[in-house]
Amino acid sequence: GAVVSQHPSRVICKSGTSVKIECRSLDFQATTMFWYRQFPKQSLMLMATSNEGSKATYEQGVEKDKFLINHASLTLSTLTVTSAHPEDSSFYICSAATRDKIREKLFFGSGTQLSVL
Amino acid sequence: EDQVTQSPEALRLQEGESSSLNCSYTVSGLRGLFWYRQDPGKGPEFLFTLYSAGEEKEKERLKATLTKKESFLHITAPKPEDSATYLCAVLNYGGSQGNLIFGKGTKLSVKP
């Protein structure tokens, strides 16, 4: 099956710093990528939808100036958590959809555990 | 409001002890119901997509079924390696592909 690579898998940072998370589709071109966050024992919550070459669409309640998303190519999307605070600590997951299989399934990255001290 | 509820929250089984996980949903118009497996600290791994009531899909020891109100994930003779959190998600007609509505999952533990 298709592979989505996400890294880093784990990052610890100080409050006030910025953290960048990368999401790559390794063997297919992803016209659309999605970013989720997941708190312990909670559902995955969609944060934003990222389309190659255009601005991301953010879900209600997600600060676009805090969570910067860039989808510069068909295989790479990045999420930058700016001026991170302890409440931003969470598990962040990306996923990618292909044009042919968009109705069938998404392919998820392995996730990034962010801990803000 | 579209909603997905999974039960039980946690399930402990002995190896070989078959059981079922439940996913109840309310959605304005169902485009698809998805089952994923998630291991600790990992992203979800796709298992099945079901599109209409009465549909069934199987993969090794897993079988997913769908009715108009719920889906079941049946696990036959589970093994310790089946231990994981199983997530159910629905996609409605108004939602984009990524805007799946996820349940909180069922954490399955299979003891040898």
Any A CB within 8 A of B93 CB: no
Identify from A105, A112, A113, A115 which residue to disrupt to test chain B contact, counting B C-beta atoms within 10 A and taking the largest count: A105
Contact B48, B59 (CB under 8 A): yes
Measured between beta carbons, the chain A residues lying within 8 angstroms of B98 are 32, 34, 46, 49, 95, 97, 106
**Could you tell me which chain B residue has the CA closest to the CA of A101?**
B97
**Could you tell me which chain A residue has the CA closest to the CA of B49?**
A104
Cα-based distances in Å from A18 to A65, A79, B35: 12, 10, 34
Q: Is the predicted pLDDT of residue B87 greater than 80, yes or no?
A: yes
The identity of residue A43, as a single letter, is: S
- pLDDT tens digit sequence for A57-84: 999 899 999 999 988 888 899 999 999 9
Tokens representing B71 are 């889906």
Q: How confident is the model at residue A109 (pLDDT cuts 50, 70, 90)?
A: very high
Tokens representing B26 are 């309310």
- pLDDT tens digit sequence for B31-74: 889 999 999 989 999 899 898 999 999 999 999 999 999 999 99
Cβ of A108 and B102 within 8 Å? no
Q: Is the predicted pLDDT of residue A48 greater than 70, yes or no?
A: yes
Cβ of B43 and A46 within 8 Å? no
Residues in Cβ contact with A100 at an 8 Å cutoff, skipping those fewer than 6 apart: none
B43, B97, B104 ranked by CB distance to A32: nearest: B97
Measured between beta carbons, the chain B residues lying within 8 angstroms of A103 are 31-32, 97
Least confident of A28-42, A63-77, A102-116: A102-116
